[in-house]
Amino acid sequence: MAGLSINLIALQLFTGLALGAIYVLFAIGLSLIFGMLTVVNFAHGAFYMIGAYAGVYIFMLGGDFWICLILVPLAVGLFGLAVERVLIRPLYGRGIDYPLLLTFGLSYVMVELIRIAFGKTGFPFDTPENLQGAVNIGVGYFPLYRLFVIGATAAVLLALWLFLEKTSFGLIIRAGARDPQIVRVLGVDVARVWLIVFGVGTAIAGLAGLLAAPLQGVIPEMGSTILAEAFVVTVVGGMGSIGGAVLAGLLVGVVVSMTSLFAPEMGKVSIFALMALVLIVRPQGFFGRAGLMS
């Protein structure tokens, strides 16, 4: 095909990074929950979908996108807290497959409940008015809204980093992840720490769902496709490593984008080819700790 230029390659690279930002935002919550709680949250896609539907609901009540940006993570996070307290907590210390199976089942229940409440057909979700259209980024035109998503992802990452590394509560979380028994002996209520971590993880999933809604609309099944891609990101980055998820998310985005440029049919497969390659060379992923799953 003709028309291959430096500008196009640069634009394609940028498109990949933007796509990667969406993967990162979704995978970060997954990685956080696994890294701290060793819970493989199969309901993460469902929380993401709930986030989009919460946005739809707030719109129905007359809210706008900016109100959604604040309320949706709060609402989904609160729901996440309830799920952890009632369903996940009794399963701690029982082996990794218990919460895995629970969240797997939970995702089906959540999707079905949404189908009952909102119907099987989706909802349109228009791009917020002041973020519509494309802007010239020097190498070509790029949708303003996708730039906004990159910015939002960066903001979430910064906030999460500050929270984990610079606050005393973050210190407790990190200590709890490394050795919960010692932390408990020191008189810290570990259960409360885990509750908060799960809440923060699901709140980020809800936010990701809201941000994805203007890109692809809202349907009950929207969480299932991205869940597969997010697991690739967490595995490539190293299970439970937040830094790894960021790097892997961006890498997956760029690999998909560059593959799509030369062989569009291979776009989807390239994600899994990348995973296979990384697992052969480095079974624990980029920054994974070996033995976390056992």
Partner 1 sequence: MKQTRSGSMTRRRLLATVSARAALAVSPFRINLLQAQEANIKIGFPVPLTGPYGTEAQDQVRAAQLAVAQFNDAGGLNGRKAELVVRDDKLNPGEAATRTLELVEKEKVNFVVGSLSAAVQLAINNVTKERGIIFNSISQSDAINEAADFSRFTFHEALNPHLTSGAVGRYAFSKFGKRVAFLTSDYAYGHEMVRGFLEVGKAFNIENLGDIRHPLGTSDFSTLLPRIQALKPDILCISNFGRDQQIVLKQATDFGIKQTTQIIAPLLSHASRVAAGPQAFEGVIGGCSFYWGIEDKFASTKAFNEAFKKMYDGKLPTDYGALGYGGVRTILAAVTNAGSVDTDKVIAAMEALKYDFYKGPQYYRKCDHQSVQSVLVIKSNSKDLRNSSDVFEVIGTDEPNETNLRTCSELGHKA
Residues that bind partner 1 (CB under 8 A): 1-5, 7-8, 11-12, 15-16, 18-19, 22, 120-127, 132-134, 140-143, 145-146, 215-217, 219, 221-222, 225-226, 256-257, 260-261, 264-265, 267-268
DSSP codes of every residue in 79-97: HHHHHIIIIIGGGTTS-TH
- For the chain, give percent helix, strand, coil, nearest 5: 75, 5, 20
Alpha helices in 84-189 (DSSP H): 97-118, 144-166, 168-178, 180-185
- The tokens describing 240, both together, are 């439970």
- The region, left, alpha or beta by phi > 0 then psi within -120 to 50, assigned to residue 93 is left
Q: Which one, 4 or 101, has the nearer CB to partner 1?
A: 4
Q: Which one, 105 or 133, has the nearer CB to partner 1?
A: 133
Whole-angstrom CA distances from 2 to 11, 216, 261, 262, 291 are 16, 29, 12, 11, 49
Closest approach, Cβ 115 to partner 1, in A, equals: 10
Closest approach, Cβ 270 to partner 1, in A, equals: 10
Closest approach, Cβ 185 to partner 1, in A, equals: 47
20: DSSP letter: H
* 3-class DSSP state of 143: strand
> How far, in Å, CA of 44 to CA of 204, rounded?
10
Task: Identify which of 252, 289, 290 has the alpha carbon closest to the alpha carbon of residue 27.
Answer: 252
Closest approach, Cβ 2 to partner 1, in A, equals: 8
Closest approach, Cβ 267 to partner 1, in A, equals: 6
> Is 32 in contact with 233 (CB distance < 8 Å)?
no
Q: Which one, 167 or 225, has the nearer CB to partner 1?
A: 225
Continuous segment of H or E residues that includes residue 195: helix 190-216
Q: Which one, 98 or 123, has the nearer CB to partner 1?
A: 123
Task: Identify which of 23, 15, 18 has the alpha carbon closest to the alpha carbon of residue 246.
Answer: 23
> How far, in Å, CA of 50 to CA of 179, rounded?
33
Closest approach, Cβ 51 to partner 1, in A, equals: 16
Residue with tokens 């259209």: 133
Closest approach, Cβ 175 to partner 1, in A, equals: 38
Q: Which one, 268 or 289, has the nearer CB to partner 1?
A: 268
Closest approach, Cβ 261 to partner 1, in A, equals: 6
Q: Which one, 132 or 167, has the nearer CB to partner 1?
A: 132
Q: Which one, 38 or 127, has the nearer CB to partner 1?
A: 127
Q: Which one, 100 or 147, has the nearer CB to partner 1?
A: 147
133: DSSP letter: S
